[in-house]
């Protein structure tokens, strides 16, 4: 396994800051990354805006473990999306339970009533393909969030205005759902806060890969603890 350090995309070409491998593999990487960027110009420009570390297995077809696949659209959820959103959340609940995180959502959260409230309030968003098939859902809302007023074992990066990401889930059929949601939220705020359960190792890795800093511990409405993270542009 090799490590590559990337800077931002410039004129749809990836600027490689650091490379550790032989020249032949580098040529293959250039060819494949070039094809990727050509297909995903807008997405790639957003995705590589900040410095990222990406693990790449040389001579494997899947070079972009943390990258995005195809063109996707993010829009506010509508009533017609309710059944699909419920299906995605049910799949997420099952995945959490199977991956050693049975207590965060269980089989009842988020409830149908809460999902409908999110849609009605205009804070629920879906991530869909050009075919209009929905693969992900998340809530983006403006702070302040009451559960973030008190933080223990640390502190937030700053006290500036922020948006919050809640209830993010995917059908696990495409990669990069968390990254797409985060990049979308970056358009609206210089600060993003998010939290996840201590047993949710998968989400912890996704959050950290997207540049968030662990800030401490907060408590949600049922009294259970969560790891609190913040991303800041400043």
Tokens encoding 133: 């098939």
* DSSP symbol at 172: S
212 with 157, same domain: the answer is: yes
In-domain check, residue 63: no
Question: Residue 131: what pLDDT?
Answer: 82
Residues 38 and 89 in one domain: no
Q: pLDDT for 3-35, tens place per residue? A: 333 433 333 334 343 344 444 444 444 445 544
In a domain? residue 64: no
**175 inside domain:** yes
Q: 20 with 128, same domain?
A: no
Is residue 199, in this structure, part of any structural domain at all?
yes
65 part of a folded domain: no
Single out the residue of 153, 152, 154, 160 nearest to residue 193, CA to CA: 160
Residues 217 and 112 in one domain: yes
Model pTM above 0.75: no
Number of domains the chain contains: 2
- Listed in order, strand segments (DSSP E) in the chain are 2-10, 13-19, 52-56, 72-76, 124-129, 134-142, 163-170, 191-196, 213-219, 225-232
Structural domain for 157, as ranges: 72-232
User: Has residue 156 been placed in a domain?
Assistant: yes
CB 147 within 8 A of CB 106: no
Local confidence pLDDT in tens for the 234 residues of the chain: 333 334 333 333 343 433 444 444 444 444 455 444 444 444 444 444 333 333 332 222 233 333 445 578 999 999 999 999 999 999 999 999 999 999 999 999 999 999 999 999 999 999 998 888 999 999 999 999 999 999 999 999 999 999 999 999 999 988 899 999 999 999 999 999 999 999 999 999 999 999 999 999 999 998 999 999 999 997
Backbone angles phi and psi of 90, in degrees to 5: -65, -40
Q: What pLDDT does residue 100 have?
A: 94
């Amino acid at each position: 396994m090799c490590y590559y350090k990337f800077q931002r995309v410039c004129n749809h070409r990836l600027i490689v800051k650091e490379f550790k491998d032989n020249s032949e593999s580098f040529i293959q990487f250039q060819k494949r990354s070039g094809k990727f960027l050509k297909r995903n110009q807008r997405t790639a420009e957003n995705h590589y805006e900040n410095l990222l570390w990406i693990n790449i297995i040389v001579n494997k077809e899947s070079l972009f473990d943390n990258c995005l696949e195809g063109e996707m659209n993010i829009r506010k959820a509508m009533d017609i999306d309710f059944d699909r959103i419920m299906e995605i959340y049910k799949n997420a609940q099952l995945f959490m339970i199977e991956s050693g995180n049975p207590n965060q959502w269980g089989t009842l959260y988020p409830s149908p009533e809460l999902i409908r409230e999110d849609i009605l309030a205009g804070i629920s968003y879906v991530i869909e393909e050009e075919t209009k098939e929905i693969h992900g859902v998340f809530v983006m809302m403006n702070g302040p969030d009451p559960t973030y007023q008190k933080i223990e074992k640390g502190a937030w990066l700053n006290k500036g205005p922020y948006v919050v990401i809640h209830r993010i889930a995917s059908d696990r059929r495409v990669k990069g759902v968390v990254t797409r949601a985060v990049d979308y939220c970056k358009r609206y705020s210089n600060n993003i806060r998010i939290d996840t359960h201590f047993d949710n190792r998968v989400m912890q890795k996704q959050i950290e890969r997207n540049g968030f800093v662990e800030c401490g511990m907060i408590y949600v409405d049922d009294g259970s603890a969560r790891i609190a993270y913040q991303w800041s542009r400043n």
